[in-house]
């Protein structure tokens, strides 16, 4: 298990989880569990698996890193299994869930063949002692795209920002953000405990304040200025939530 230099958790990610009363470990594990090697080959779905997988793929493309040596080493064998998975993806009468189950055995075979250099440990420690279990699909994509597990999770967390999202929406300047899409789509998947009275009061006050801020920023068209104002409000709210525990 990795025990040195735990991965830090960005403040905006902490704020987003706290705002929706979500557990940080649960959100990260949920993301890991929805990364799918099959979905990296198929573009047929539009669900949580697609959003999580595309988040990793977007990062891999953005850094322009060479393919792993392991991929070159076992290229012909891996291509054979990939072709079989693509055939599964073309079956029109089956649901994506059934297709993923059929592809799981092929994914396992690729996983057993490939050399693991980027995700040798299947457990990862973040700051605050958070331990995450890396899935087979997640590890496999790490190896295929030559990216460490920490890189992928750091990228995912860095793309989660409520202030940035509000600023973009207010300017009608929507930028594709698969990570943020995954975060919003996953909200209904978590069981949220009832807030205590102090938290409920803070929530009501926060809703009033953010509605006021939306109006105040209507005439401000500078993106950075809008982000700054939303960050000030969210950070103040987050600090009050911590103090009320």
pLDDT value of position 76: 92
- Give the number of other CB atoms < 10 A from CB of residue 162: 21
Per-residue pLDDT at 3: 44
Report pLDDT for 227.
Answer: 97
* HEC assignment per residue over the chain: CCCCCCECCCHHHHHHHHHCCCCHHHHHHHHHHCCCCCCCCCCCCCCHHHHHHHHHHHHHHHHCCCCCHHHHHCHHHHHHHHHHHHHHHCCCCCCHHHHHHHHHHHHHHHHHHCCCCCCCCCEEEEHHHCEEECCHHHHHHHHHCCCCHHHHHHHHHHCCCHHHHHHHHHCCCCCCCHHHHHHHHHHHHCCCCCCCHHHHHHHHHHHHHHHHHHHHHHHCCCHHHHHHHHHHHHHHHHHHHHHCC
pLDDT at 118: 81
- Residue ranges of the chain with pLDDT lower than 70? 1-4, 193-195
Output the pLDDT for position 192.
74
pLDDT digits (tens, 9 = 90+) for 112-159: 998 888 887 889 988 777 899 999 999 999 998 999 999 999 999 999
Q: What span, in angstroms and rounded, lies between the C-alpha atoms of 213 and 224?
A: 15
Do you know the residue count of the chain?
245
Domain assignments of the chain as residue spans, ordered by start: 24-150
């Amino acid at each position: 298990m990795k025990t040195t230099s735990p991965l830090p958790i960005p403040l905006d990610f902490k704020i987003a989880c706290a705002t929706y009363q979500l557990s940080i470990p649960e959100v990260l594990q949920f993301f890991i569990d929805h990364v799918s090697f099959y979905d990296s080959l198929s573009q047929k779905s539009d669900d949580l698996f697609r959003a999580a997988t595309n988040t990793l793929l977007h990062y891999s493309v953005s850094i322009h890193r060479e393919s792993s040596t392991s991929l070159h080493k076992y290229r012909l064998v891996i291509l054979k299994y990939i072709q079989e998975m693509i055939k599964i993806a073309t079956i029109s009468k089956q649901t994506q869930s059934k297709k993923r189950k059929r592809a799981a055995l092929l994914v396992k075979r690729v996983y057993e063949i490939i050399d693991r250099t980027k995700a040798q440990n299947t457990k990862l420690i973040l700051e605050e002692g958070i331990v995450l279990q890396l899935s087979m699909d997640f590890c496999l994509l790490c190896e295929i795209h030559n990216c460490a597990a920490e890189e992928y999770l750091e990228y995912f967390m860095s793309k989660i920002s409520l202030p940035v999202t509000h600023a973009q929406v207010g300017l009608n300047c929507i930028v594709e953000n698969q990570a943020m899409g995954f975060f919003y789509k996953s909200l209904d998947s978590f069981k949220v405990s009832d807030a205590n009275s102090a938290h409920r009061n803070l929530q009501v006050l926060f809703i009033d304040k953010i509605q006021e801020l939306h109006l105040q920023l209507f005439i401000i068209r500078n993106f950075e200025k809008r982000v700054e104002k939303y960050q000030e409000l969210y950070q103040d709210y987050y600090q009050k939530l911590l103090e009320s525990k």
